[in-house]
Chain A
Amino acid sequence: MTTLLRAFVGPRAPRGALRAAPGRFLAPTALLLLAGACLLLSLLLPLWSMKLLAPQYPRGLTVTAYADRLTGDVDEIDGLNHYIGMRPLNDAAQLERAVAAPSIVLMAALCVAAALVHTRWAALLAFPALSFPFVFLADLAYWLRDSGQNLDPTAPLSRSIKPFVPPVLGEGLVGQFKTIAWVESGWLLQLLAAVFIVVGLYLHRRAYKPLVDARPAPEEAHAAA
């Protein structure tokens, strides 16, 4: 068991090599830890927002998505959506919002683990964090499509407003409303985390692959012991 764990965790940098080139070994660790920190911080920041513009709303209406909640003019937008038979915004992605916070904490923890694991498993550990911003947008696009396509056919404005798909990024048109959707600071931070992970993993491979390759295979090591 210990052996398996040791094989999973991989070798530590030899003291001499560490002293000779500290950057080589510390850079990947730092980047992966930084990625975890960015991810954690993104919990507090908005990830995405949509602005709805219509003549009756000169300042527009805004809905802002955080990882675990929606803020802004949700009630007003829901109030308008009932005319076209769209479900309340908070009906969508309930599971995702419920698990978002613990998941992000977990993904950040996995980034920390990736910094400590010096084998190729590190890539697997960092992968959820790497993919999260893209998964988030894909999921959002799914729910936007689902909400826009499944309108109550008996709604008052069902003859005027046909099912639609609001674009997850960029401009769209629903009734007299122009929609403008774009990512927010939290999502950009997650993207930055993803960049850190990609660069970190590259440097990680450069630092530790030679060490892993230099070690005997677990079976041999076992036999030698």
Chain B
Amino acid sequence: MRPTLRSIAALSAAAALLGCPADPGQRISTGLGAKADQIAYDRGLTPDDVAAALKTYMPSGRIDDHIMFASSGHAGQVLVIGLPSMRLLRSIAVFTPEPWQGYGVGGKESMEVLAHGSAGGKHLTWGDTHHPSLSETNGVYDGEFLFIGDKANARVAVIDLRDFETKQIVKNPLATSDHGGAFVTPDTEWVVEGGQYAAPLGVGSYAPLEEYDQRYRGYVTFWKFDRKKGRIDVERSFGMELPPYWQDLADAGKGESDGLIFMNSFNVERATGGVEQGNPPFEAGASQRDMDYLHIIDLEKAARVVATRGVKINGFTTIPLQASIEEGLLHFAPEPKSPHGVDVTPGGEYAIVSGKLDPHVTVYSTKKIREAIARGTSNKDPYGVPVLDFDAVVEAQVELGLGPLHTQFDDKGYAYTSLFLDTAVARWTLGGPYAKKHGQAPWSLVTKTPVQYNIGHLAAVEGDSASPGGGWLVAMNKWSIDRFFTTGPLLPQNFQLLDISEPGETMPVLYDMPIGVGEPHYAQIIRADKLEPWEVYPEVGWNPMTGKRDPNATEKGKERIVRRDDGVVEIWSTVVRSHFTPEHVKVRQGDRVIWHLTSLERARDATHGFCIGGYNINLSLEPGEYASIEFVADQPGVFQFYCTEFCSALHLEMVGYLLVEPASDAGKK
């Protein structure tokens, strides 16, 4: 037995003996000796605190065995966090320029990624990242790619997990907002992006709110992922027109529900707000009815008929609502009431809808859904979409508490649902094939653990995949209120680590991690050994966007400055500890400067920065990386370009001069 395990064992014994919790300052025996007892006494730690510390503490140099990819909300990034230590490892810039990674601040390659995500001529410099989705093979995380959606602008980004860099942003041509993305199908053939707030389809389309029922529409988009290229293939992607309900979270079927897509909705009331005109505000108008519609989409069939039934909206292939109805691609099942998350069980047998305004989770049998679809139904919504009978498709309803939002799974046949209003995590038992795993009464609440405060999403280890890992769960709390030092009126969010390894009623909170860089929504946790990131780029001169050595990469001794007749100065530089070559770059005011930089480094972590003060440029040149910049030297003067990443003992000396000769002087010569 390793010492740590022994300590925990001793400690649990001590805890059981004493009956915790102890008051701060009370003498406790940690079972770890007098020194540990003294520390526990001085810091006012209970035996539970000490156990939590022993479970989560990572000694210096020890590496976490699980990695969490969390959205950072409107910070527009992805956060990479190690578990169980809850240490922030890094951020990944996605929709927002980020200088440390040299993302979107002058570097041509990353600027192009961001530019592809611009819409209607607007250069967007932020996004509202919501739901990260790791690529899957057979429904299991494979650790190759990560997708994430931007709710504010209806975009999806592709991150390559070999270098943790954003490779592509696709802008949805149909809409300006989304929410049901990104979710992948079990083999990552499709990335699902569902809509949220209905609007006339096609970015830039206009219709007054009076024509809401006729001209406003919801949508879902299926982005075709080309795994070999590591990019979304926009040409082979398509959308589906949906009634103007507000579609919400989605999940892809798997196992026996493979090929189906489930998507919640609210505001089937089609409320159009206008509180200022004496109308009920959206919050009331959208919450009138007891039932909304669970959307059941036959993606497999849709992919087959899109070639013949698709039309172009804003240049993007879209299946019209009428065609979906005729082809039997879309069915509804009633769901109570303005629900939020829909989550498919590991084997795909059930889709679990979390009630939000209803205290239940409603469990739909995917088998019963398929049977009901096969039988047919005469019930239709106002747009002609067939509506299945609620009782015919529901397997169970479990009352959990107030404000159920999202559900995750573990390896023991338990489901975990976040309860926003109760501010708790509920553990409950699945039935069907899962009942033998826990041996308890199926479809029943087991326990609730309070979390602080107002939990939104929750993430268990691989907890939405076909093979949940169990062990850890992270509650993503929207409010922290009094959990940390008051950092002014704007407070961090609170990620709380829960130990879910023990079956039954024990499910303690172990650790609080403040997130002070945005408001995370969803996260996914993957076993670290599934990731195979590069330590340095595979070759010197590697262009991370093309995935190969760039033709403009330069070798030592072949650096050069070429002035062309058309006023373009092109520079091929090398970068290595501790100098840039060349160090003198002289241009004339108004010259167009094209600058290629190649890091010659092969040592791990020998990253250089490259900034030009006054020109809003900063690059991150990781070992072996090629990057380029293009700018017009419109500001005359003497500028320094220097290394912004402390690289070596001679880091400060790693500098060069950019001399921009004023146009008036240049003319004299």
A residues whose Cβ falls under 8 Å from a Cβ of B: 57, 73, 75-76, 79, 83, 156-157
Whether the pair A83, B602 counts as a contact (CB closer than 8 A) is: no
B649 close to A156 (CB less than 8 A): yes
Contact in complex: A79, B577 (CB < 8 Å):
yes
- The residues of B with any CB-CB pair to A shorter than 8 Å are 576-578, 600, 602-603, 648-650, 653
B602/A76 in contact, CB under 8 A = yes
CB contacts (< 8 Å) of B603 on chain A: these are 57, 76, 79
Q: B535's closest neighbor in chain A, by CB?
A: A59
Which of B603, B648, B653 has the largest number of chain A CB atoms within 10 A? B603
Tell me whether chain B's interface is mostly helix, strand or loop, or mixed: loop
Report yes or no: A79 in contact with B576, Cβ–Cβ below 8 A: yes
Do the beta carbons of B576 and A156 come within 8 Å of each other? Answer: no
Q: Are A157 and B649 in contact (CB under 8 A)?
A: yes
Residues of A within 8 A of B648 (CB): 83
- 17 residue pairs from A and B, CB less than 8 Å apart: A57-B603, A73-B602, A75-B600, A75-B602, A76-B602, A76-B603, A79-B576, A79-B577, A79-B603, A83-B578, A83-B648, A83-B649, A83-B650, A156-B649, A156-B650, A156-B653, A157-B649
**Residue on A nearest B579 in the bound complex, by CB:** A82
The 9 tightest CB contacts between A and B, nearest first, are A76-B603, A156-B650, A76-B602, A79-B577, A75-B602, A79-B576, A83-B649, A83-B650, A157-B649
A176 to chain B, nearest CB (A): 11
Distance (whole angstroms) from the CB of B541 to the closest CB of chain A: 14
Give the residues in chain A near B650, CB-CB below 8 Å: 83, 156
Cα separation A27 to B113 with both chains bound (whole Å): 73
Q: Which residues of B contact A83 (CB under 8 A)?
A: 578, 648-650
Once bound together, how far apart are the Cα atoms of A79 and B576, in whole Å? 8
Give the interface centre of A57, A79, A157 by most chain B CB atoms within 10 Å: A79
Bound: A193/B556 CA distance, A = 42
Complex Cα spacing A76 to B653, Å: 19
Q: What is the distance, in angstroms, from B553's C-beta to the closest C-beta of chain A? A: 15
Collect the chain B residues with CB atoms within 8 Å of residue A79's CB.
Answer: 576-577, 603
B600 and chain A: residue at smallest CB distance:
A75
Chain A residues in 8 Å Cβ range of B602? 73, 75-76
A76 neighbours in B (Cβ, 8 Å): 602-603
Of all chain B residues, which has the CB nearest A61?
A: B603
Q: Could you say which residues of chain A place their CB within 8 Å of the CB of B577?
A: 79
- CA of A73 to CA of B604, assembled, Å: 12
Which A residues are CB-close (under 8 A) to B600? Answer: 75
Report the bound CA distance from A57 to B649 in whole Å: 15
In the assembled complex, how far is the CB of residue A53 from the closest CB belonging to chain B, in whole angstroms?
14
In the complex, what residue of chain A is closest to B648 when comparing beta carbons?
A83
Q: Shortest Cβ distance from A51 into chain B, in angstroms?
A: 15
Shortest Cβ distance from residue B609 to the other chain A in the assembled complex, whole angstroms = 18
Q: How far is the CB of A71 from chain B (nearest CB, A)?
A: 13
Q: Please, which residues of chain B bring their CB within 8 A of the CB of A157?
A: 649
Contacts of B578 in A (CB 8 A): 83
The CA-CA distance from A73 to B577 in the complex, in Å, is: 15
Extra contacts, 10 of them, besides A75-B602, A76-B602 (Cβ < 8 A), are A57-B603, A75-B600, A76-B603, A79-B603, A83-B578, A83-B648, A83-B649, A83-B650, A156-B653, A157-B649
**Assembly CA distance A79 to B603 (angstroms):** 10
Set of chain B residues within 8 Å of A73, measured between Cβ atoms: 602
Which residues of B have CB within 8 Å of A75?
A: 600, 602
| Minimum Cβ distance to chain A for residue B653 (Å) | 8
Smallest CB gap from A73: residue in B: B602
**Min CB gap A173→B, angstroms:** 18
Residues of A within 8 A of B649 (CB): 83, 156-157
Give the distance to chain B from A88, nearest Cβ to Cβ, in Å: 11
